[in-house]
Structure 1
Amino acid sequence: MILLARHGETPYNAERRFQGQGDVALNARGLEQARELAQLAVQEPLAALYASPIRRARETAEIVAEAVGLEPRFDPRFAETDVGDWQDLLFDDVEREHPDLWAAWQAGGAWRFPGGESLAEQQERVIAGLVDVTQRGELPALVVCHRGSIRVALCHTRNEGLEAFQQIAIPNGALIRL
């Protein structure tokens, strides 16, 4: 079994800002969410802990690691989507200034961020990472990553297609069983 966890909240999450692969730290609420996640994780018989190397996931994984007694293994395949030109922009600004692109992003599917990666490319790398975790045989494993990474994994495992991407709610600090 593999469990996926979303990192704790960052200032960008609170501001509704695209952070993509930017190294944004957890805020105070995010640190508390990471501690709460750690308390959930200690109830699982975890054999391995993996994480995205992006700062917010790394910070969350380190808090979880201390509680569960496992050393996190950082894998860039679990990183958030490369949002390209939208990096650091507010959601509301993108929606107002680029309504057609915003609508396409909300529809999911074959979406590609301007100057960034497509959801299909992200899904391919995330699934490859999850296959490797499974093949290593150290299960159950926890992967601390990002909302987009969890969404593309769930679209795949639920066989829903990437059109379901935006319909999947993943709050900060959430723990999801694949």
Structure 2
Amino acid sequence: MIIALARHGETDYNVAHRFQGQTAVPLNARGIEQAHELAAEAARHEWAALYCSPVLRARQTAEIVAARIGLSPVEDPRFMETDTGDWTDLTHDEVRARDPEGFEHYLHADEDFGFPGGETLRQQLDRVVAGLVDVTQAGALPALVVCHRGVMRVAICHTHSRGLDAFMEIEVPNGSLVAL
């Protein structure tokens, strides 16, 4: 394993199916448990570097992992969640009611999908891939990156040559660890 990605623990926004984007939403009690479970799983591997998104929920998760594996997390904004723009803080049901066509496009997201007032999947993919290239070129491998579901989805689409049309098909539970 050269690079692995880990999703932050659960938040109340996850439970409510609310778009949190890049907002500072903290882990809930279950999310803290998941972060400790992730830390235990991460401790079964050797890591040369630990990176994380600077977004609060990912940073909290990374701190718990760091305490277990003995590395300090390096923040990299390229591993931030998708900027969900005008949909940030809204539930899926609220978006479906306000913008049914846009929500349907989201459910069948592809390379052309972009959050109104936010980021496109292509923009996110480009920044995530640039971050992963830099992690690889830094040479401290294997590396663990604590990030978000959207980051993991675009990275998996890219590294598995599936294309962004597979974005919504990829399941990434809170607290999961996936080798690229």
Under a length normalisation based on structure 1, what TM-score does the superposition of the two structures give?
0.99
The aligned residue for residue 175 of structure 1 is 177
Q: Specify the code of the residue in structure 1 equivalent to 2:103.
A: W
Alpha-carbon separation, structure 2, partners of 1:157 and 1:78:
15
Q: Deviations over 1:124-173 (max 9, x none)?
A: 00000000000011111000000000000000011111110000000000
Structure 1, 95-104 or 40-49: larger mean CA deviation: 95-104
Alpha-carbon separation, structure 1, partners of 2:12 and 2:130:
30
Structure 2 unpaired stretches of 5+: none
The aligned residue for residue 140 of structure 2 is 138
Show the 5 A alignment for 1:14-53: 14-53=15-54
Alpha-carbon separation, structure 2, partners of 1:94 and 1:84:
12
Structure 1 segments of 4+ aligned residues over 2 angstroms from their partners: none
The aligned residue for residue 91 of structure 1 is 92
SS at match of 2:51: strand
The aligned residue for residue 12 of structure 2 is 11
Alpha-carbon separation, structure 2, partners of 1:6 and 1:59:
11
Q: Specify the code of the residue in structure 2 equivalent to 1:147.
A: R
Aligned-residue RMSD, C-alpha: 0.5
The aligned residue for residue 158 of structure 1 is 160
Under a length normalisation based on structure 2, what TM-score does the superposition of the two structures give?
0.98
1:67 matched to 2:75? The reply is no
Cα distance, 1:99 vs structure 2: 1.3
Alpha-carbon separation, structure 2, partners of 1:64 and 1:41:
7
Cα distance, 1:96 vs structure 2: 2.5
Q: Specify the code of the residue in structure 2 equivalent to 1:33.
A: Q
